[in-house]
Each structure stands twice: as structure tokens, then as C-alpha cells.
Amino acid sequence: MTLPAFEPKIIVNNDKCTIEGNTLKSKYTYTSNLVTKNDSTNSYIVDTVKKDYEFNVDLNLPKLGIMLVGLGGNNGTTLLASVLANKNNLEFYSKNFKGLKKANYYGSVTQSSTIKLGIDPKTNDEIYVPFTDILPLSNPNDFVITGWDISDLNCFEAMQRACVLEHDLQMQLKDEMEKIKPLKSIYYPDFIALNQNERANHCFNRKSEAEGNKDPLSLDGLTKNKWSHVEQIRDDIRNFKKENNLDKVIVLWTANTERYSTIEAGVNDNADNLLNAIKNDHSEVSPSTIFAVASILEGVPYINGSPQNTFVPGVIDLAEREHSFIAGDDFKSGQTKMKSVLAQFLVDAGIKPLSIASYNHLGNNDGFNLSSPMQFKSKEISKRGVCDDMIESNQILFNDKVGKTIDHCIVIKYLNAVGDSKVAMDEYYSELMLGGHNRISIHNVCEDSLLATPLIIDLLVMTEFCTRVTYKKLGEGATDYEQFYPVLTLLSYWLKAPLTRPGFKPINGLMKQRAALENFLRLLIGLPPLDDLRFEERLI
């Protein structure tokens, strides 16, 4: 079944784009500059290469199911609450707002931002349109949501535990939220902090008292057989899809940060070895990898919103083999998003960042889990790499003589009292001309889950959109349309440590990521990539 078709709001007057039935067809010539350096003369040779493509976009919107790993966590309950609040047009009282506050999706690019379309020929004003006007995108109000959690609280109780939303809003959502209870999840105590053990009372790999486990929270009561866990998750996905008459399902991990898995030859280095390792209950197969493998085998997209290396080489290999979409890692919401903008600004301005000191403390369960050194290490790795492509882009500031790194210190502390209001402090210390220095200090207080949840919405919306786009190369004898490469790097804007296709380096600069996203949507409706040359203003 399909929801009502998208009504086009933008008509582009050229021959690049046509609509045939429920399919949007567009042609685009991709131009790339291939650069070879001549070391003997220290010069560059540039060859411009052009390739012609044809894209198809299915304009039918599916009935979409969302399965969250960590449904009972801060992000999971906040996402569910935001969808219900917006769907029901709720209004509520807030201590920080006079009068009634209406439900909204602020912070979501797809729901609350605009894209430049062009220039008004009469006034020379730039014309911006809502992101959702460009092409048909799923409406989060229509999401059908369920998921897994290691805690047995229903979603109203879990929302109360999270202490993210205003009390008035929570009480308005009570009747609907308490009807929703997570599916049982899996718990491998070696991968998350042991301080989560008391919370883990809802796991299908944990024996109950009825099964002879005298202590329900004893680590001795945990069963292995990891392949059965894959099969259970696959069953959950199939049952959810069937029971709700869904066209598509997307699985997203928003549960605890895990420790890094060790990459071992013969264990997780390719698809076959990984599947065998799961069947042999190998200790280096993490819960998030189990969920990823189950999703891939079911042919549903899987998004990793935490920093651990869920996508070991064997998972990427399996996704390639099964032609199933994956994306990750780690939501880029606050402190790191600022870093991906400010570091880019400094380097592009010819200012050399010497050090970045990043500190934050928070009191939610994410912070509690990160108080364990192994889990913090995963987060540190995802945060540390955010400036790598910026360093490599400027060989004047960063070279063998003056150094190719930024001294980057990252500290995260758990303070229960601050709850979900994460406090972040950053200092950027940079070198100016003739021995001068510049210090930029930022103090940022943010409600962590209210920044992360809109990112989750965007990742889900854009992942579903990518499943409806196919392409073929023109002039090369191609007859069949293909889908994107399984690693969805187009989603990098929302991810702290973007997963890339093997052999490629990630792009972390936020503005570059946004430009790629906008320009891709533009070409699909027959518009050229956006530039700001503004010849109307600058040329006679």
C-alpha cells in the first residue's frame, strides 16, 4: 500500500526532468577534476572528466515502520513523544515559554529548514522554499514506531525516567505512551558498562526465575547462541512489518555506546567469517553488529547512531553482498557539529588551529555508560577525527615541517545532577601571522536528546528517500537502473564519524556535507548545483 502521491510544488522549465507516471526522471552531467601532481616542477595537471547519468525517483510514499534499538532510552522516548505530539497537534505549558507552546520539529533539517531555489528576477531577492517542497519525503507524523530495549519499562515510564520533556506534555502523552512497550533486546555485558546491568531486565538472552535463574540480574544467567539472537531480531522485523501492513522498515541504533570490537582476521574481516563467528559465539561480536547483520539479512536499512565500530569489515562486505543500506556512525548533534564548522572556518581563513580542548559533562544514561573507560574510548575516537579532512586540505598550515596534527583533547564526565542538559566547553587556540595567537572559547549548554532526536528524524527520512532513488550511467551500454552503493555517505551531515566506502576518506566539514545534500536534491528536479557567483550583482 502507498500513501497519497506527492504534489509537485516546483516546476523547472528545462528538458532535464520529466515525470512518467509515478516516476520522476532527470538527467545530469557530473563533472569532476582529476588532479595529478608533477613533483619535479611542483605543479598540477588537471583533467576535467564528464559523465552522464539518468536518475529515477519513485514518487510514491510508503507506509514506513521505524524500529529503534534503545526505544526506552532518552532519544527513543523523545522521538516517539515528538511524533505523537506533532501528529496530535498538542499544545503544552513550558517553564521557559509564556503561554502555550505548540509541538514542532525544530532542529530537523528536513522538517524545519529551507533550500535556496533561485533569485526573483524583479526584486533580485533570493527565494527559499521548505526542504519538504523539493521532493516527496516521508512525514514523521506517519511513522509507525516500535523497537527493542534491555529495560522493561513501558514508554511512558521510560519517558518519565529520562526527564527530557515538560511535565505537562508528558501527561498529555501518557495514555498513548504507556501502551507501547519495547521488545526484548540482547545484553552482552562485555560491550557496555557494567553499571547498566541493573537496567538490563528485559533481554531474551537472560534466563528468568521461571527458567531456573535465582538471581534475575546475575551475569551467570546470560545465555549465548548469538545466531539465535540474529534469528530472533529477524523474526521481530518480519512480524512488525506484517502486523502493521508496512511497505518498508528502517532499523536505527540509539542505545548505549559499546566498546570497540577488535578486528581479527578470520573473525570479522569478511562476510562469511563474520557469519561463522556469530554462529560460533565469538566474543568480539557486539550486540550492535548482531542487529546490523539481522537487518542486512532482512534487506532493511540499518543506521548506527553510536560511536562504536558496529560496521566491522565483515558487516560492510555483507551489506555489499546483500545490497542493503547502512549508515553511521554517531549522531552529530552539538559540540562536534560546532567543531566541524569552526575548525573549517579557521583553516579556510588561513588561521592555523594548534589545539582544541573539548570538555563536557552530562547526567543522562548515556553519560553514565560513558563513565566506563572502554565506552568513553569509542566516543573519543568518533569526536577526535572530525578535523582530519580539514587538516589535509591545507598543506600550507599543516605540512611535514610545521606538523600535520592538531593537539586535540577530549574529556567527558558524568554528573547526575545536570540530567539531559549537557554542558560543553571548548577552547580553540590558533596561530596568527608573525607569532600572534588567537583563543576562542565556547560555553554551550544544550538539552542533549532534543538535539539528537531531530537528527534521528532526518536520518530516517533521508534513508527512506534514498531507497526510492535509482540511476544508470548513460553512454556506457547500461540498461538496468542501480541503487546507491550500500554505505549511504549522503547522510554524513548528521553523523559525527561518517562511514565511507572502503578506499575513500570521510568529509567532516558541515557546509560541504550540506552542499552535497542540497545539490543532489536540486539535480533530481533538473536544477544545476547551487553557486553564489551572483553575476546579476557583480557584472555590468
- Residues with catalytic annotation? 330, 379, 422, 496
Are 290 and 233 within 8 A, CB to CB?
yes
**Which letter does DSSP use for residue 201 in this model?**
-
Distance (Å, whole) CA 70 – CA 440: 36
- What distance lies between CA 485 and its chain's CA centroid? 17
**Which letter does DSSP use for residue 476 in this model?**
T
Distance (Å, whole) CA 484 – CA 230: 26
Q: Could you count the other beta carbons within 10 Å of the beta carbon of residue 512?
A: 17
196 CB-side CA count, 13 A: 30
Distance (Å, whole) CA 178 – CA 180: 5
Q: Could you count the other beta carbons within 10 Å of the beta carbon of residue 503?
A: 5
C-alpha closest to that of 378 among 458, 316, 286? 286
Distance (Å, whole) CA 216 – CA 187: 13
Q: In the block, which residue shows the cell 515538560?
A: 166
Residue 187 has φ and ψ, to the nearest 5°, of: -135, 115
Strands (E), 336-483: 352-362, 407-414, 421-431, 437-447, 469-473
Are 368 and 418 within 8 A, CB to CB?
no
Distance (Å, whole) CA 209 – CA 218: 11
Q: In the block, which residue shows the cell 527458567?
A: 211
Q: Measured between alpha carbons, how far is residue 399 from residues 39, 40, 42, 202 in Å?
A: 15, 18, 15, 53
3-state helix, strand, coil in the chain (%, to 5): 35, 25, 40
Distance (Å, whole) CA 37 – CA 46: 9
Are 442 and 429 within 8 A, CB to CB?
no
Distance (Å, whole) CA 275 – CA 314: 8
